[in-house]
Structure 1
Amino acid sequence: MSTVTDQPTPDSGGLAPDTVVTPTKNAGARKLPIILGVLALGLAVVLLRAGHSGDTTFRLATDTDFVSLPDIVVPSGPTAWIMVVVCLALTAEAVRRMLGHLRQPMWIPVGFAVAWMVGFLSWAAADGRILIVSLLGGAIALAIPLVFGALGGVLGERAGVVNIAIDGQLLLGAFAAAITASLTGSPWAGLVAAAVAGALVALVLGLFAITYFVDQVIVGVVLNVLVVGLTNFMFRQVLTPNADSLNSPDRFPRVPIPVLGDIPLVGPIFFRQTALVYVLYIIVALVAWALYRTRWGLRVRAVGEHPKAADTVGIKVNRTRYRTILLAGAIAGLGGAYFSLVSVAGFNREMTGGAGYIALAAVIFGKWDPIRATLAALLFGFASNLQGVLSVLGSPVPSQFMLMLPYVITIFAVAGLVGRSRPPAADGVPYKQQ
């Protein structure tokens, strides 16, 4: 009897073969030096046109750490220029590897990103203080809905269903969480309701896309618009007149984890968060493990890559897709609870602000892998938090640029840094079972 096999290769880091891209054929190997060069020269131009004097302080510790790490004080101008030189050196190495048809290792873009950000912050926060804990911890908090949405997108598309409706799942999840938490007095009940609401949107998506073979992109866009209209109507007609009873939920408080939360630098960033962040840690680990290490994950990837072969060996393709898209919708709905139970206490119209589309970009940037998509979502969360931090510092960077920073990074990430990214072969293709 034939079987479906999809074993990880030794050089794939434990991932399935479909996530491995041959270095010599990777468009990112050619695009990376160009993008790094443009960013390095851009930073140099900024320093030439508006150089700053004074010192920049990077604070690494909080008052409750086991050990108080000293502040790092650096001269703003010289530090920024040193980082420009480091960026140019990394760009030169990327060019050398490109010309030699060598693989671009991950340390080049990571090292460049760190050096560029240190240089930029040294310049932007001259005579000011950057709280590293607040910068990185806030990035994780802001990335919560993006990570949940990205995980939902990865699962759906791995099963062969394009989940454009992530934003609708987030928005309806926020709506359901606010009402349920207000009625029950428990944010945990609101979290469960958010998951159910996200699954309901996914059910409608599956009904049209899987059962009736309607174009999945069109269905997703229509669902997003439908949820916006529905929640706006309910907000105006139901929530606003009854705000005290239906739109006044308790927020998730911050819950420091004993001992771990007191570790210098790491503790305040990762272990002094709300319960929703700890739920997120668990779900990311479970999805990454289940997708690549369980029979269920093998079946999901099989119906997303070659549904006919999966059907041949007895896998119910459409049933698997339904179950996966419902799970994906529930996970995305959990992210919606962030808006009404963490960010603010209550629901407001269109409060997701298009986060679902950013989450979808994280799915593509992460090459349909849960861990990579999570890292991409964290990058976008960092960009969002950076805009707030620099605004508080009175940075010379125009506020308009800071507001568009998350979207600029999204465009760069999807159009340039990701290179050639291959989705699951049957992604978006309906399957008619024989």
Structure 2
Amino acid sequence: MTGLPATRGVVILGSTGSIGTQALDVIGRNRDRYTVLALGAGGGSVQLLARQAKEFSVPIVGIADPSGKEELEQLLTGSGIQIIAGPDAMADLAGGAGQDRSSDPGSTVVLNGITGSVGLRPTLAALSSGATLALANKESLVVGGGLISDAMVRPGQIVPVDSEHSAIVQSLRSGIHHRGLCSVEQDGASEVKRIILTASGGPFRGRNASQLTDVTPADALNHPTWAMGPVVTINSSTLMNKGLELIEAAYLFDIAPESIVPVVHPQSVIHSMVEFTDGATIAQASPPDMRLPIALGLSWPERLEAVSVPNAWDSPVAWNFEPLDHETFPAVSLARDAVAASPLHPAVLNAANEECVGSFLAGELPYLGITATVAEILSEFSAPRGTLDVETVLGTEKWARVRAHEVMAQRR
């Protein structure tokens, strides 16, 4: 662990979710390395947020839903912990509200574990503040990838936390790659030919479209490998999650969409691979445990000790790789076409998908209607000319969400 600062300050956004709770588990076992500067959450688990704040003695917490502020104040009475509430709370924490970063902003890590495109403003705020951004909120890049580079104040400021993109960064250290938001080397010609993006295949691997007509939310939420939130789990079942990850990889590593190859790997042990120009392929392998990429996000470029149980190499094992069934699962193709079309098409794809997933979970849209509706909305969209800014991105998202409900109403 040589090279790490004596302690790193950490801000965790989405602290009560899957990423946030596992991050606090990692920090709890490395308290000599980290100080939790702030915690933020949406507001669905106020009691858990209060317990976390007390356990880690944080000076400030944020809650996006202002209706939960009163309960949080009661739970934290006498603690001296400052509370901020409202839709700007996460961005304020990401930018440094209530924290002392004056000595070295780069020694602070902001872990963005928020789900959805609401994570864009906190991502931009963290980068503008000079903090290192441990990015688990893929939607930030999907909807605002064209804005991210302008918000960065130094190279290497983003460390991806998705297991796939973490694997890619680790594999890239085997060669030269000086392009994109996650450059590993700054000099020399890139040696990267293709990125191989692995996917578990979700709960419906091997089925065709006719076998998915009666899928229920309970069926789709039954993921065979990962324990995730409902939106991410549904996205994993449709493979939209892999489509979003393809867009994220295109921005992070400045790789042409057609050079990102998704492959189904049911065991989820190889988290992704990099193919180099000489024909070599480097893979990162570990049991499916999100604490490993989370820990790397907090400590990069160094590694912590004993974060995850390693693979058991003294036992027989077999790993399978299968091509993706694009006909049954068209989401990845939709994502590839979207990122190639314009910086705003991915925002349309993501926003429309979020609304469709919500309607599916509410029993208002059939399973196959999710990607069908997204495809229809993408086909209608024409990106406006002009300068790309946050307002344009959010306005495009708003249009896509409204249009999604119109299309779904027509389908019903």
Instruction: Give the TM-score normalised by structure 1.
Output: 0.25
Higher percent of residues as strand: 2
Higher percent of residues as helix: 1
Larger Rg: 1
Which of structures 1 and 2 has the larger relative contact order (alpha carbons within 8 angstroms, sep 6+)? 1
Instruction: Give the TM-score normalised by structure 2.
Output: 0.26
